[in-house]
Structure 1
């Protein structure tokens, strides 16, 4: 309202300044389609990128910038979870724990709350090496949450692990899990750690990253995944926010002290220039670049169809304990 008397050219200039705070994604060559990516760098220096669709598609490269090459999928044929959607899997999250890689995946259909988070295990990451282990979390129409977008994080000790999940409904929940060899067991302490109280509760894709003695909850907020740039308000499409806590179980707050369970979240990355609707994020530490935020986004110069989602990444610069991108 305060800007209503400003000239149009000045408003445009202010908007340009606001957009300029976000850097463009790092380079990507080769096979760059991805949605809700997970990125891991194996000890031999080979990068693996996992993606929604193709039963969790796997791409590999010798550099984070590519060229990326398709190399198969995590699951072969269908998930062992007997539920609608078990042949088109979503939202991988890959962790390396005591010599084993764990790939979480989601089974659901668009708009449904009948969902499950399953997982598979491997010691190599390669396509064909994964064993489908089945369910960790499920939801139904009577659940307060939707069991998709799973993520595992370490707590304060070697045997303290948490799983977080959720999308829309009452948003983000967390519970303790026990990890014993190839087996992951949900072990209680279920509670909400993120919630957008307004509108249709557009918050999902929680990814918690442990750094030193703090835990950072990165979230995808806003409209996803069908877009019309001519009518969708630019500040209401997918973007990435963060809250943090000194306890893995929360409470999480943003840089202004607003609780993540009350709509809080400091924006890390949003639409700017031709970069549109970034989200589906995660973080990993690279021995070349340091901490890296990865995500998918759309390029307005190409199009906004789901199949045009691209792989994006930026190095994280930590300023006063908060992530900024370079």
Structure 2
């Protein structure tokens, strides 16, 4: 890739432009054109997808940024393609503002399409400059949806002034654009008001046709705001909404950031699910989920607690992890949750390799559902692996297992420098139905569910499927995912 000296230089350079919820770079003049480019067509080899990509980091290589330089993705399936819109961010090169666009037919092979805007949206920029601020030269955390024949894209624009931010909306007749600004949805300012930061939007259309936006980062948690479905803007001009989710404190200090909400309605379960990211985006970033019967809440955690209370909530279904033969993945948060149109859900998010956390890769994982209605995600990235029959005799063998435990480190980037990787350990499912040769610990398999029961009272119910072993470049292996009887996520994959 590149020598150590250059690597250190790029890391230092990127630190000045790396996106976060509180810092960005210098602004550029505002325009609202759409910029797209014909996708590059080359022979695809899944083994060519690497954890790092310094050799194509220069801006001239942007058509090759397929799964690279992705942060805060929003993904929807429009026609034959899944479209991905994401934050303006790049490793080792200046950020080009406008929101990046990618597309894929299979969630594995991605094409770089272009940008939503040619630079910063005029209306969002005008709000920030009108309040005495200077907008960052980067748009963050978009959300995309289709209403009737209209495509709507919500963007986040912020500034170095604390909480001086705005969420705006643009529309188009095609997911490729061109996009036209339609207005500002919600704003926040550096004043004495109690409000969250106006970034990180997500929107739900309810079963009765109402629309709500969920947004926010730090400050005062996650807010819900009613929208006018006919316009996509706030139902009441100037309304900021109300808080719907919060997290815990230690010694009067937040246990870490709370942001990056994503919301879906599962018609099979007849529940609304609110996904939220905790902690610092470069290190401990992780995803929690609550569920409720109403889009306006309350949403409840695994223990039946309202997620708007001042405590940390679970289950945590995605967190920094490390299997053997790889440096680990950290910063695993700010997820998109979407379906394929036939009831199969997926989660997409950024992943930063442990070897160098300034690289940002797109991860897509398959979502399954526990028998009691909680979402669980695959321990391995989606690779469209054939799901052939799995018998009990296939399941016996040696596995790597990861338990997604969590340690509270109150604070933000300065305090949360350690990603707290959850590292795999090895265990064996014996052919005789015992675990690690211990006659008191048992396993059974009734497809697709693997049940582990230990003599100490611990029990796991885990869904077994086939997926790619990315760490070892093996096309197909057995993986499992689920929750234990305490609501802790358990991951695993078979060792070859």
Give the superposition deviation at 1:190: 2.2
CA distance in 1, matches of 2:266, 2:153: 21
Of residues 104, 110, 119, the one that matches 2:154 is: 104
Q: Which of the pair has more CA radius of gyration?
A: 2
SS in 2 for 1:210: strand
Tell which deviates more after alignment, 80-89 or 146-155: 80-89
What is the CA–CA distance in structure 1 between the aligned matches of 2:244 and 2:320, rounded to whole Å? 25
Residue in 2 that maps onto 1:291: 345
Aligned equivalent of 1:208: 263
| Equivalent residue for 1:59, pick from 77, 102, 109 | 102
- Pairing partner for 1:194 from 245, 262, 266: 245
Q: Tell me how far apart the structure 2 counterparts of residues 315 and 244 of structure 1 sit (CA, whole Å).
A: 19
In structure 1, which of residues 304, 319, 323 is the aligned counterpart of residue 357 of structure 2? Answer: 304
**With structure 2 as the length reference, what TM-score do the two structures score?**
0.54
1:289 is displaced (CA, Å) by 8.1
How far 1:165 sits from its partner (Å)? 0.7
Runs of 4+ in 1 over 4 A off after TM superposition: 26-30
Distance apart, 1:74 and its partner CA: 1.0
> Structure with the greater relative contact order (CA < 8 A, sep ≥ 6): 1 or 2?
1
Cα distance in 2 for partners of 1:318, 1:176 equals 29
Structure 2 residue aligned with 1:318: 369
Counterpart CA distance in 2 for 1:206 and 1:133 is 23
Cross-structure match for 1:176:
226
CA contact (8 A) 1:28 1:64 kept: no
Which residue of the partner structure matches residue 17 of structure 1?
Answer: none
Partners of 1:165 and 1:258 in 2: how far apart?
21
**Contact 2:225-2:234 within 8 A present in 1 as well:** no
Deviation at 1:39, TM superposition (A): 1.0
In structure 2, the residue corresponding to 1:254 is in which secondary structure?
A: coil
1:155 aligns with 2:212: no
**Post-superposition offset of 1:156:** 3.4
1:219 aligned counterpart, secondary structure: strand
Deviation per CA, 1:96-155: give whole Å up to 9, x if none: 11121111110103572000001111121104x111223100001233211000111112
- Superposition pairs of residues 244-263 of structure 1, within 5 angstroms: 244-262=291-309, 263=312
How far 1:283 sits from its partner (Å)?
0.8
Of the candidates 332, 336, 349, which is equivalent to residue 282 of structure 1?
A: 336
For residues 180 and 299 of structure 2, what CA distance do their matches in structure 1 show? 34
Deviation of the 1:178 alpha carbon: 0.5
**1:203 to partner: Cα distance:** 0.5
Q: Is the 8 A contact 2:187 2:240 kept in 1?
A: no
Distance 1:288 1:261 in 2: 32
RMSD: 2.1
The verdict on how the C-alpha distance between 1:221 and 1:96 changes in structure 2, with shifts beyond 3 A counting, is same
Unaligned runs of at least 5 residues, structure 2: 1-45, 50-63, 89-96, 129-133, 323-327, 379-496
Separation in structure 2 between the aligned mates of residue 205 and residue 109 of structure 1, nearest angstrom? 18
More strand by share: 1
Relative to structure 1, the CA distance from residue 163 to residue 255 in structure 2 (aligned partners, 3 Å threshold; closer, same or farther) is: same
What's 1:10 paired with?
A: none
Post-superposition Cα deviations, 1:242-297, rounded to whole Å, max 9, x if no partner, equal 00110100011111112211232311111110121211101111147811111111
DSSP 3-state at the match of 2:228: strand
Instruction: Work out whether residues 178 and 184 of structure 1, in 8 Å CA contact, stay in contact via their aligned partners in 2.
Output: yes
Write the distance in 2 (CA, Å) between the matches of 1:150 and 1:241.
17
> Hey, what's the Cα distance between the residues in 1 that align with 2:281 and 2:161?
11
| Structure 1: gaps (5+ residues) | 1-25, 228-236
2:47 and 2:106 mapped to 1: Cα distance? Answer: 10
TM-score, normalised to structure 1, is 0.81
- Paired residue total: 283
